[in-house]
Every structure is written in structure tokens, then in C-alpha cells.
Amino acid sequence: MNKIFEKGGKLYWLHSTVDAFETFLHVPGTVTLKGAHVRDAVDIKRIMIIAVIAAVPAAIFGMWNVGWQHALATGISANVWQAFWYGFWKVLPLYLVSYIVGLGIEFASSQIRGEEVNEGYLVTGFFIPLIVPVDVPLWMLALAVAFAVIFGKEVFGGTGMNVVNVAILARAFLFFSYPSDMSGSGNWIHVGANEAVVDGFTGATPLALAGDGFNALANAGAQYGTDFWTMFWGGIPGSVGETSVIAILLGAILLIWTGVASWKIMLSSVAGALFVGGLANLCGASDIPCLYHLVMGGFAFGTVFMATDPVTSAQTEPGKWIYGFLVGALCVIIRVFNPGYAEGMMLAIFLGNIFAPLIDHLVTSCHINARNRKLSKA
Amino acid sequence: MSKTIVLKKGLDVPVSGAPEKRLSKTVISDIVAIQPEDFKGLLPRLLVKEGDRVLAGSPVLSDKKNPDIIVAAPASGTVKEVVRGEKRKLLAVLIQTDDKQEYLDFGKKNPADLSAEEVKSALLAGGLWPVLVQRPYGILADPAITPKGIFVSAINAAPAAADVDFAYGDEIAALQAGIDALSKICPVHVSFDAKRYPSSNLNRLKGCEVHLFQGKYPVGNVGVQISHISPIRKDQTVWTVSLHGLAAIGKLFLGGRYDVLRKVAVGGPAAIQPAYICTLPGMPMSELKPFYGAEPQGLRLISGNIFSGRNVGERGYLGFADDCITIIKEGTDKELLGWARPFRFNQYSADHTYFNWCLGWLTPGRKYDMDTNLHGGPRAFVMSDGYYAKFLPMDIYPIYLAKACLAGDIEKMEKFGIYEVLPEDLAICEYADPSKNYIQEMIAKGIDLMLKEMA
């Protein structure tokens, strides 16, 4: 049946697309040509699908939280299912846009390169809706996805060749191009055009409040529950999938257990955030207790799902410790010392990605020197 | 005796079809082939023509760069055919054997009475020089140099490969003579499996430096062992020799003849009643019919082990350096929703995204009938270096080295350790690679580039 898609066939130019669907359905009957005659059963598809599954709890919680925040803001009462459905219908368009635009470009570029379609975008496309505000206009999202996939990945040669995390690049594109839609207090909770907001409801994220000091955060906490534990379980305004640390931790357990993401990066990122946060507490630069940094904003989601991207993080094992620490530390530095940006995680991962090759260069250079010393004795 | 070197990294892949410790038969085939491809670095000059009579040990090929190095006929008979490929490249010399198996007499010698030069010239004249492999690069040894050591691995950790004690336990005298001869040239290092050494017959070998290793595949690779015993520097060379090569050297001195008869393990998931045969290198694979049935349809016949052997097919021949043949099924079947299933009980994976690694606790010792399916599509490297390094018990960043080879960057290849590896040493990384790259080929190309540039 596939004759016409094979080399020399009429529809050969479509072979990447056909292959993509075919290999999606079953593992192809390709055999090893040389070298190791048997191969492990794992492939990139399996690794990628695990990353997607790990993010499912955060996505489901995010959908529910969109509905719940809407209910809180408008004073309309909603049970768990109503809240979830409300959020589901709000988040679904984000997913449709993310996948249609992203996969469209991915298929087209694989077709141009004549390669098999990569499964990398399945993960990226799943993450992007989780790290944007629910109210982001769809055309903006489409533009950001297109920019990130083309200029963040395809121009470098596709999945595995990119320098920075594609999902983070999409978010950064939105953040710097349309700041009014990506920050402030009006974008995190969906409120319909004809709906009134409850008196006194600001819609600001705890992170934005924390910018005005711990008192502002604590007062808001008294007002509608942005204390530590609420932020931990996630019933706060924020980007779709980033709010619930519990849901993200569930994903982290799967990622660490399966070895898909590096526990070293996660651990050192937490250590970096606590270190700078603690230092800021000690020298009086910030009165936000350092533990709060772990549960506010995108820190948890970024640490677990974004910083650990195996392509853009540090490649060497010692490098992973340095890289993770750098990401965590930079995040809190930006949050505390830069009044312009309430959130620092996106930039921290961005910078971490940029620095990762340098860190690896450092690690491998040290390794080479140590090797040379050992060899000179041999 | 040195203390045991424990290697934590590595992976024992549970492939079924380990050969039973039983000698099924002795095969002296009608045809034996001498293949220049078996000797990396050999520029072959043909010394015989079709119809010539040869004895076991008669020179058949010599090296154009160093005419002292000769490749000898493993059996007596007449030269049947000289097989050439494109551009008249010499592919094989086929010898029609007679049933007499007459040996050319080189005269018995006592290695103890010989000098290093005499040992070298005896090996060169006796046609056994090509059993020595020189590192870096895994090429024919250069008789003009004295290496810093000669390394022998008495561990075979690859799945379904020959059991060292069974295959070589009764060749102690020959092995000992081989060690005695080679140790005239430079120190001989032999590595043993730490657990089996005390009860092994091979512990009677003396006159060599004994090293004990414990670990998983590729602990048996001599390259891995060298990197722990005495890593190779840019300006150094070492030689390696296989156990059957060492035994052949011993027999050259003890019996005065070129005797490369060896026990070969025939195993692998698709082998019928896997066992050992006693045969000569260059044996046609068609002699293995009892092990694969009448038709080798859909089977792959590998001369060598499952990770780094050569797919020679039913019309191929046993390689000069190989003491094992692996038969596996070609995995051309498609597997519906393979990667998306939560469990794949019939596929082995060392990766934790499948759950076979916990099954390992429930069903210890389970072996898998693996086939040659690639289990996925080729991709760029996605996982980080550490994913691969956990299987490689060497002080090397495997993916950095592979990428340096891909880029053809000599300086980086040097820095990341190209002198210490042969493609076979990174075979386990290739096995585990979720991106399904041909890492051994990358390294081989890098080594070829080094040979070209450094010449």
C-alpha cells in the first residue's frame, strides 16, 4: 500500500508525513544495518511520551484551576466538575493552536529535510499551553509557537539540535513582544466580557504581590488565601499548568523514576533557589521567606519540566549540578533584585540554556586535564 | 596478584541462546577463506595463484608496506579461487582443503631460549604476526616497535559468547608457551574474571601480570581493561592478542606448526541447540546448517558477538579473530503500538521507561529472544552524555567522542580519548541509544580519519 510513498513513487514527497503516522501506530520493521545487531526497546518516542504523561496531572489541575479562579473572581459558584469543564473549554483552544501550528511546521520542515518527523514537538506542544496565561489571544500564541519552532529549532536542524528550550522561547517571545498580555494582574484569570468581578478581587498572582514585600503577600493571603499551603496545592492565579506544586511533584516522581529527567538538575535548582533566597533573607534584601520561592510562579514547573530538557540542559553529569544550581539561583536573583520582572524562572532557564554549553566545556576541559595528568603518570 | 578492579558501569543484556558447554563436532570444511578485511591496516599482496598447492602455514598474502608480515593458509589444499570485488579489490582467497591437513614445519623452539627479535621473526615467518593487534586504532602490529605491554583478555562478557574456561581450559600448555614467547618482547598482562579465577583452570598460567576484573559487559573488552590497567597515551602503543591467538602462538613454538584450530561458540536466540564446534577461521557459514536449519531465511549469521560482530550471511565465513558465531532472527515484524504500550513483556529494555528492570527482580535470570529490530527511528542525539556513560566503564565521555568523530575534529577526538577505544568498546552505548545512531560506525570513521591524518 505504501509503494507510491516509497522512493520513486508518485507521492514520495509526502513520505515523511506517511512515515510519521505509520511509526506512530507501530514500531517499524526496520533492522539494524551493522554494529550492535540488537538494540534496546526504548526509543525517543517512548521517552517523549513519558514526559507528556508526567505533565498530565499539572494540565488537569490547570484546567480545573482556570474554572475555579473564574468562580472565585466572579462569585459564581461551581463544583469540581463545572470548574474543570469551564477550564477545559478555555484551555482546549490553546492546545489546538499549539499543536496545529507547531506540528504543521514540524511536518513541513521534516518534509523539506526528507527526514522522519520528530516527536519532540509532542512534548513542547503539550508544555506551551501550560506556561501561558489562559487569556492569551490565540493569534499571539500561534505567532509565538511559529517563531519558537522555526527559529528556535528548525533552523538548527530539528529536535536534538536546538540551543534553547523551544517552549521557553515561545513564552519569551510572548513576554517581550506583548508584555501587557503576559504580566500584570488582568491576564491570569479568565473573566468573560459581560461578567462582573467580585469587589476587591485583584487577580494579581502571589508573585506579583510578593514584589511589594511579604506584607502585601500576607495581606492578600488573608483576603483570598494565598498562603504557603494554598500556593503549594495550587489554588492561585497563574499560568495554566504552573500553579500546583503537588501536581508537578507527581510528574517529577514519574520523570525521576523513569530516568527521563535528571534528578540532579531538579535538586540543584531547588538548592540554588533556597541558597539565594536564604541569602536575600539574611542580608535583608527580601522579606519573602526563601521557601516561598519554591511554590510561587513558574519555579516548580520550570525546574521539573523545562530546565531538565535533555537537549538544552548541561550534557555532563557534573555540569548538571552546576547548571541546575545556576537556574535556581538566577530565578530568585531576578525575582528579588529586578523590580521590573516579577517572575524570573523563564529568564533563568533561558540563561541556563545559553550557559549550558559553556558549563559543559568547563567540565570536559577539567576532565581532559585530569585525564592528561593521569596519562602522564601511566 | 593485583587487587580486583570492580567496574560499576556496564550492562549485561539478557540475550538467550548461550551455548551449552558441549563440543558438537569438529568441522574441517571443504573450503576455507582468507579475507584481507579481517586484518585492519593490511595492504594485501597476493602470493599465490589459483591452482597452487598450499600447506597449513603457507604464505598466502603479505603486507605491501611491510612484506615481512604474512597471512598464512589455515589448512592444506589447493587455491580454488581468488575473489575480487569492485576495482579488483581482493575480497577473499578460497582454499579447497584436502583431508590430510598437512602442516608446514617451522621447527619446534623453546621460547625460553629465544631473544625478543627471534620471537618476532618466528611469529612473522610462522604467519602468526597478524594475531597481534596494535592500539591505538586496532591495526596490524608494527614489528619495528616495542609496545609498552601486550594485553590479553580472558573474560568474555558478551551474551552468548564463548565460555573462556570451556573453550580454553584444555589449552593451558599452548597458552603458557604463548605467554612465555610474547613476554620476551614486553610484559604480558592477562585479565581474568575475579569471581571465576580461583576455580578456573586458567589460574595456572604464569609469567604474566594477572589482573582481576569484576563487572558487567563490556568488562571483557580488552580496551576497557587496558584503560584501567595502563591507559594508552598518544605516544604509546600496546598490542593485544586474543586467547586463541595466544594459543596458536604457543603451538607454533611447541609443535612448530601453524595451527589455528579453535573452539567456536555457536549461539544466539535463533540457534538450534547452541553448542561449540571446533573449526578453522575462514569456515563457510553454510557448515552451520545443523544450527539454523535448512533455510537461513530471516536469520542473521554474525561472525563475532551480538554487539560488535560482523553480519556475514550464509555465504560468509568465520572471521580470523572470532571465536563465536551468533545467530539471531531478523526483526522485520512490525509491532502495533509498541512504544505506546505501558508494558512490553517480550522486549528487553534497560531504560526505566519500560518496566523490565523491575521484572528483573520478579523473574531473575529471564533471557529474551532478541532480534535485529531497531525498535524505533533514527534521530539526532537527544539524551545527554550521562545516559550513555553509565554503560561504559571507561573514563571517557562517549557522546562527546562520537560527536568529535562525526565532526572530524582531530584535536577533540584526541582529547576525548580516541587512542583508547576501538568501535567495539562503545558497542554498549550503541545498543542503549534511544536515538538509534550507529555509534560504532562513527568511531570507526574517526579512527580511519586519524590513521589518514597521522600517517
Instruction: Locate B433 and state its grid cell.
Output: 541509544
Within 8 A of A378 by CB-CB distance, chain B residues are 230-231, 233, 236
Q: Where are the domains of chain A?
A: 59-203, 212-378
Residues A229, A232, A234, A238: is their CA dihedral positive or negative?
positive
ipTM higher than threshold 0.95 = no
User: What pLDDT, on a 0 to 100 scale, did the predictor assign at position A1?
Assistant: 47
Q: What DSSP designation does A302 have?
A: I
| Contact assignment for B375 to A260 by CB distance below 8 Å | no
CB atoms within 10 A of CB B3: 8
One-letter amino acid of A330 = L
- Mean pLDDT per 10-residue run, chain A (378 residues)? 64 71 74 87 89 95 92 85 92 95 90 81 94 92 95 89 93 90 74 71 73 71 68 86 93 93 95 94 86 90 94 94 96 86 88 95 94 82
Answer with the residue of higher pLDDT: A211 or B289.
B289
Choose the closest CB to B351 out of A26, A40, A314: A40
Q: What is the pLDDT of residues B5-18, one digit of tens each?
A: 999 999 999 999 99
Q: Do B373 and A39 touch (CB under 8 A)?
A: yes
SS3 B139: strand
Cα distances (Å, whole numbers) of residue B60 to A143, A325, B1, B74: 70, 64, 42, 10
The residues that bridge with B61 in the sheet, in sequence order, are B46, B71
pLDDT at residue A8, as a whole number: 67
Count CB-CB contacts under 10 A for residue A341: 16
Q: Provide the mean pLDDT of chain B.
A: 91
Contact B379 A27 (CB under 8 A): no
Look-up: residue for cell 521517552? Answer: A47
Model pLDDT for residues B332-390, shown as the tens digit of each residue: 887 777 777 777 777 888 888 887 777 777 777 788 899 898 888 888 899 999 999 99
Which residue from B350, B377, B395 is facing A28, i.e. has the nearest CB?
B377
pLDDT of residue A91: 94
Least confident range from A244-248, B33-37, B91-95, B450-454: namely: B450-454
Q: How far is A134 from chain B (nearest CA, A)?
A: 30
- State which amino acid sits at residue A292: Y
Contact list in B for residue A311 (CB cut-off 8 A) is 382
Shortest Cα–Cα distance, A89 to chain B (Å): 27
Give burial (CB, 10 Å; 0-12/13-18/19+) of B204.
exposed
pLDDT for res A200: 65
**pLDDT at residue B172, rounded to an integer:** 94
Q: Give the number of A-B residue pairs with CB atoms closer than 8 Å.
A: 212
C-alpha span between B72 and B103 (Å, rounded): 11
How far is it, in rounded angstroms, from Cα A247 to Cα A249? Answer: 5
- Report how far residue A208's alpha carbon sits from residue A188's, in angstroms, rounded to the nearest whole number: 11
**Ramachandran sector of residue A200 (left: φ over 0; alpha: ψ -120 to 50; beta: rest):** left
Query: pLDDT tens digit string along B65-82?
Result: 999 999 999 999 999 999
Residue in the structure block whose three cell numbers are 576541559: A365
Mutate which of B373, B395, B396 to test chain A, going by most A C-beta atoms within 10 A? B373
CATH topology of domain B4-13+107-255: Rossmann fold (3.40.50)
> Can you tell me which residue has the cell 563487572?
B215
Tell me what pLDDT residue B452 has.
92
Section B288-311 average pLDDT: 88
The alpha carbon torsion through A35, A41, A43, A45 (nearest 10 deg) reads 150
CATH class of B262-329: alpha beta
The residues, ordered by sequence, that sit 6+ positions from B245 with a Cβ below 8 Å of its Cβ are B128, B131, B132, B178, B321
Predicted local distance difference test score (pLDDT) of residue A65? 92
Structural domain boundaries in chain B: 4-13+107-255, 29-97, 262-329, 338-454
Q: Grid coordinates in use for B182?
A: 610474547
Cβ-contact A29, B333 below 8 angstroms: yes
Q: What's the count of helices (H) and strands (E) in chain A, helices before strands? A: 16, 1
Asked if A131 and A242 touch (Cβ cutoff 8 Å), the reply is yes
| A37: helix, strand or coil | coil
Q: What CATH number was assigned to the domain covering residues B29-97?
A: 2.40.50.100
pLDDT at A30: 81
